[in-house]
Structure 1
């Protein structure tokens, strides 16, 4: 049975609503799948967020985010690991499908991206026993190369899958179209992810032309150049038919509109611009 449903990453209405208000807005439109951010959960309290999730039968397609493993010294790396263990605990309490990992970039003052990537591998390996014991899958999200220095030194789906192969069960990937659409090896990488059983999440938005801000100007689906139906077709051909999670950071546009209007457009574009062809 297909569970190709619409999920709303709560970053999409971050400036309009807190956690409870976003849930109310989603439920009013019949949306029962969400993906919150840890700061949104912390603002209302983990216990209350968990109560809201369970009372409304919500599906959490992910919790954003863990990661940020590299650091300049052992103390910083330990602090990152401790925070990631807390993130695993939060994901377990909320019943999230996965904990999304934005792995981190270069430590301050470093120019050694090879070392940063090694620290990422070591950090996930150290986190993995706790995640497995807690029943929380870890979803590595490769980010566009423009973020390699400050946000994520894992930049292609194949890089993420190499980590999954090295680390073993309990680690997979979150495929965010904003970050991977440009990759000439994307079709082969998605097929590889399917063979590995590694696909844990599919995030959607669009790439505006021109893009006014490389972080905070994601487009609504259908307003940019990403072949959303084509990528979805690859993902479904790879054997995964899970939710499509709308994640839009849009300081100049969608964050300026009423939350209910944003959700209404998300629903319309999910049907008109995001289905596999």
Structure 2
């Protein structure tokens, strides 16, 4: 039986279209799914909303907004507008969490501090939109190896500092084990995130070395790597946060596995390595 708090992020079965994803998860006994915009937009948002509603699945998050670290100009304006569109799409599913991968260094730049400032400026522009839609913009700190190309925010503390000026209903954080397990201050940061009401998503997968040739595809099933899920999961639970926990895996071998097998493997590893440390699982 699949844990009632387990959600599988759609990226874990990347090659499945939306209908295949929903069918796979409902047949496997899941109660929740984390959506990605591309499969949603492939069928159109109104049709996707109907499909999800008919499946009976909850939507734990929408992935992903962000990528707004470029300097002012047409590209940045297009990015801000695109994030406004994504806020509306997230709300259409009754989902309250839009995960943000904020972006790295603009081409030719070495100014990380400037990139982080532009993240804050973008959030200031989007705060009212998020509040009006009832959607939390969940900053996801990424592992430092992605600092220059994907996310100039690498630690949970840094994400919380950026979020601090904004209403917690509008701007929160994503706690992803793959990206933050290494941080010696991570447990204190999780406690702080709970105290400040900023946790919007908890995502789990494992990290192991050597990394894949493409480091982006180096995420693994829980239990296959070096992450100790006990302290991280207990710390999130201790904050009182009680959303669905997503398993999100980017890995070519996983993507090449039949969808139903992936769904079973995710459920089994979650039950073994994560669920025992969550209340009443």
TM-score band (shorter)?
over 0.9
User: Does 1:235 pair with 2:232?
Assistant: no
TM-score (norm 1): 0.95
Structure 1 residues 107-118: aligned runs within 5 Å: 107-118=106-117
Specify the alignment match of 1:219 in structure 2: 220
User: Does 1:45 pair with 2:48?
Assistant: no
State the alpha-carbon separation in 2 of the partners of residues 208 and 220 from structure 1.
10
State the alpha-carbon separation in 2 of the partners of residues 149 and 210 from structure 1.
21
Specify the alignment match of 1:203 in structure 2: 203
Query: RMSD of the alignment, in Å?
Result: 1.3
State the alpha-carbon separation in 1 of the partners of residues 97 and 76 from structure 2.
22
Q: Deviations over 1:166-188 (max 9, x none)?
A: 22232111101110000000010
Segments of 5+ residues of structure 1 without an aligned counterpart are none
- Report the Cα offset of residue 51 of structure 1: 0.2
Specify the alignment match of 1:27 in structure 2: 26
State the alpha-carbon separation in 1 of the partners of residues 34 and 14 from structure 2.
12
Q: How many residues are paired up?
A: 273
**Higher mean C-alpha displacement, 64-73 vs 121-130:** 64-73
Segments of 5+ residues of structure 2 without an aligned counterpart are none
TM-score (norm 2): 0.94
Contact 2:98 2:138 in 1 (8 A): yes
- Report the Cα offset of residue 133 of structure 1: 0.9
Specify the alignment match of 2:76 in structure 1: 77
Structure 1 residues 50-65: aligned runs within 5 Å: 50-65=49-64
State the alpha-carbon separation in 2 of the partners of residues 20 and 275 from structure 1.
28
Specify the alignment match of 2:124 in structure 1: 125
